[in-house]
Amino acid sequence: MKELTCEDVLMSQMAAADGEEPEFSKQQLSTHIASCANCQHELHQFQALDQLLTGHTLSEPRVNLWPAIENGIAKRTDWQPFALIGLLLVIYKLLEMLPARDPGMAFKLVPLIIVVLLFVFIRENPFRINTELLLER
Amino acid sequence: MDDAEAIKRCQQGDREAFRHLVERYQRRAVAQAMVILFNRDDAEDAVQEAFIDAFKAIGTFDTSRTFYQWFYVLLRNRCYKLTGRRRPTESLDEASLLAAQPGMADETRLVLEKALHSLTREEREIVSLKYFSGLSYDELAAHLQIPRGTVMSRLFYARQRLQSKLSEV
């Protein structure tokens, strides 16, 4: 059987007090607590903290964010057709600059395309909404 | 209109249905953003941006979760992005985090807010979701996208730190 540390016991005991399934049996926990003054002290402190926190709720301020949100949604979607037209014009202009049978210009464009792709896919795509949790700093 | 119906209509581009979701959750969202940012203006900015993200990404809504659980991830991401360019933290009087409770001294609430203010964002967030939003460990794991074991340990250390901060206050 795994030797219980104070941390194991305290975490399990706190989970039990929160109404969750503890990781260790009641008997294992009570045997350790009975002989450990540190755990007894910590649990006493935890109960006091629990009492202090219970009964509080977050203050929910009266707000009406809908006008700003509606405006933001419109702004984020309105520019997209113009951006697409702009992009197509740039591509057209670049293609027009290519001499008919000279591949030299095409080779010059390759690094530019690579840089654009790196920026978009590796650094951060500014048009992508991340629905996964960001790593915490 | 329930959330499922509203989401279905939002996916067809119905902004009125989205308004319904905003009006249902905006106050809770601002309160929870305040826990992370401790600044009312930043919290409102983060909530606005997160709702705009939600509207744009509603097509990818994961039906195995509730709307708010899914939205909370967007909100949290926005809050963490804002922390890099945040305004100076408000004084505790301005940034009231907890609601006044009948029969409970204001002084107790202020002491608690002060202690919460001195915790890290992650610690404050997990304590708040557990106690003030009443989430179970499984719900905490879903909200924070971490394993249940990590919920237990993070909560344990957050409580220890809060206890120690309270004894300093």
CATH 1.10.10.10 in chain B is located at 104-169
The per-residue DSSP string of A23-48 comes to: SS-HHHHHHHHHT-HHHHHHHHHHHH
- Judge whether A104 lies within some domain: yes
- Judge whether A99 lies within some domain: yes
**Cα B67 to Cα B149: distance, rounded to the nearest angstrom:** 25
Q: Say whether A56 and B131 touch across the interface (CB within 8 A).
A: yes
Name A133's Cβ contacts closer than 8 Å, sequence gap at least 6.
B73, B76, B77, B144, B145
For residue A136, what pLDDT is reported? 46
Per-residue confidence band for B75, with pLDDT thresholds at 50, 70 and 90: very high
- Judge whether A65 lies within some domain: no
Mutate to test the interface with A, among B30, B34, B81, B128 (most CBs of A within 10 A): B30
- Judge whether A72 lies within some domain: no
For each of chain A's 137 residues, which pLDDT tens digit applies? 567 889 888 999 898 888 888 778 888 888 899 999 999 999 999 998 998 888 888 888 899 999 999 998 887 766 667 778 888 888 878 777 776 666 677 677 777 787 777 777 655 555 566 666 554 44
Quote the pTM value: 0.75
Range from A127-131, B22-26, B103-107, B112-116 carrying the lowest mean pLDDT: A127-131
Number of domains in chain A: 2
| Element spanning B16, H or E | helix B15-37
* Choices 3.40.720.10, 1.10.3720.10, 1.10.1740.10, 1.10.10.10: CATH for B1-87: 1.10.1740.10
Strands (E), chain B: none
Q: Say whether A58 and B99 touch across the interface (CB within 8 A).
A: yes
* Residues of the domain holding A93: 78-123
Q: Which positions 75-104 of B are in contact with A (Cβ < 8 Å)?
A: 76-77, 80-81, 96-101, 104
**Which residues in chain B have their CB less than 8 angstroms from residue A70's CB?**
15, 19
Chain B interface includes A124 (CB < 8 A): no
Q: A39-58 pLDDT, tens per residue? A: 999 999 999 899 888 888 88
Chain A interface includes B132 (CB < 8 A): yes
A83 plus A49 within the same structural domain: no
- Judge whether A94 lies within some domain: yes
**What is the pLDDT averaged over residues B100-105?**
76
- Judge whether A16 lies within some domain: yes
- Judge whether A109 lies within some domain: yes
Closest Cα in chain A, distance from residue B38 (Å):
12
ipTM of the complex: 0.80
Architecture of domain B104-169: Orthogonal Bundle (1.10)
- Judge whether A86 lies within some domain: yes
**Which residues in chain A have their CB less than 8 angstroms from residue B30's CB?**
60-61, 63, 65
